[in-house]
């Protein structure tokens, strides 16, 4: 976590920009598995591989973000990309090839949340634009599975879904840049409480050129392909 990555004047500009673009946001309610893949018939519905969790939020896409947005300045910056590469041990970063996926802004209104899941991508970069009054925390259990070895740890996931596990929780101030590896760390955003919505920018890169987000994922998250 890097608190104060964006300071008050630019943060206010970002907040205004996000609030202005919110009318364009695609709001959706979904249920999905913690593994973000469709249920499989080999297991019953209440098995941790198949159990459904709930997510609801709004999202605006890269093509809806202004050319002169500070988010774009950060995203395109060679210095920033170099910094991320150094921290993550990557050699080069590339934007998504499709017009929607590189920079997103997520809106979580009162009661909205992101259910427990493991990410598909190996790393995620977020910038909190507006913190909620309460709730909306990033809750996680570190290294709960080992996807590289194909270990799914159903028992461990079930305990978390049942609320029987110790978890960690992060709440951070607006302006904080957060880097995390969510592929093996189970995580969620807890329901937002109070009247101030959580506004979160997501800066998504690839480590290979010319990669688009899958059609299924674009339809699910954005409601359209382009
Ligand atoms: O909003 C956050 O802090 C986490 C978002 C997240 O887990 C995701 O986009 O996969
Ligand atoms: Fe995630």
Residue 37 pLDDT greater than 90, yes or no: no
Whole-angstrom Cα Rg for the chain: 17
Q: Please give the pLDDT value at position 221.
A: 86
Tokens of 72: 């774009």
Q: Which atom, in ligand 1's list, is nearest to the CA of 200?
A: 1
Distance 187 CA to ligand 2 centre (A): 6
114 Cβ inside 6 Å of ligand 1: yes
Q: Please give the pLDDT value at position 192.
A: 98
Closest CA relative to residue 127, chosen from 183, 58, 196, 199:
199
Instruction: Report the predicted TM-score, pTM, of the whole model to 2 decimal places.
Output: 0.94
The closest residue, in CA terms, to atom 10 on ligand 1 is: 119
Distance 98 CA to ligand 2 centre (A): 20
Dihedral-angle region of residue 36 (phi above 0 means left; psi in -120 to 50 means alpha; beta otherwise) = left
Mean pLDDT of the chain: 96
Q: Please give the pLDDT value at position 216.
A: 85
Residue 120 pLDDT greater than 90, yes or no: no
- Find the mean pLDDT for residues 206-213: 92
Q: Please give the pLDDT value at position 56.
A: 96
Tokens of 105: 């802004």
187 Cβ inside 6 Å of ligand 1: yes
Domains, the chain, with CATH or none:
8-222 (2.60.120.620)
- Find the mean pLDDT for residues 95-109: 97
The answer to whether the CB of 103 falls within 8 A of the CB of 75 is yes
The closest residue, in CA terms, to atom 7 on ligand 1 is: 188
Residue 217 pLDDT greater than 90, yes or no: no
Buried b (16+ CB within 10 A) or exposed e, 56-74: bbbbbbbebbeeebbbbeb
pLDDT band at 220 (very low <50, low <70, confident <90, very high): confident
- Find the mean pLDDT for residues 20-39: 93
Tokens of 23: 């009318």
Residue 1 pLDDT greater than 90, yes or no: yes
């Amino acid at each position: 976590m890097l608190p104060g990555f964006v300071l008050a004047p630019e943060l206010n500009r970002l907040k205004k920009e996000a609030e202005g673009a919110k009318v364009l946001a695609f709001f959706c309610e979904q249920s999905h598995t913690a593994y973000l893949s469709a249920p499989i018939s080999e297991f019953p519905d209440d098995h941790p591989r198949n159990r459904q969790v709930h997510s609801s939020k709004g999202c605006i896409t890269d093509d809806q973000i202004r050319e002169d947005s500070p988010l774009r300045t950060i995203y395109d910056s060679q210095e920033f990309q170099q910094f991320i590469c150094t921290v993550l041990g990557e050699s080069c970063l590339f934007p998504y090839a499709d017009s929607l996926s590189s920079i997103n802004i997520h809106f979580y209104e009162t009661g909205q949340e992101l259910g427990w899941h493991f990410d598909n991508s190996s790393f995620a970069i977020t910038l909190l634009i507006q913190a909620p009054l309460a709730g909306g925390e990033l809750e996680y259990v570190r290294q709960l599975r080992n996807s590289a070895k194909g270990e799914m740890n159903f028992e461990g996931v079930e305990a978390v879904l049942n609320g029987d596990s110790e978890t960690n929780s992060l709440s951070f101030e607006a302006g904080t840049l957060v880097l995390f590896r969510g592929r093996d760390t189970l995580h969620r955003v807890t329901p937002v409480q109070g009247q101030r919505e959580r506004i979160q920018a997501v800066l998504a890169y690839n480590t290979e050129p010319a990669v688009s987000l899958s059609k299924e994922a674009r339809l699910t998250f954005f409601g359209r392909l382009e």
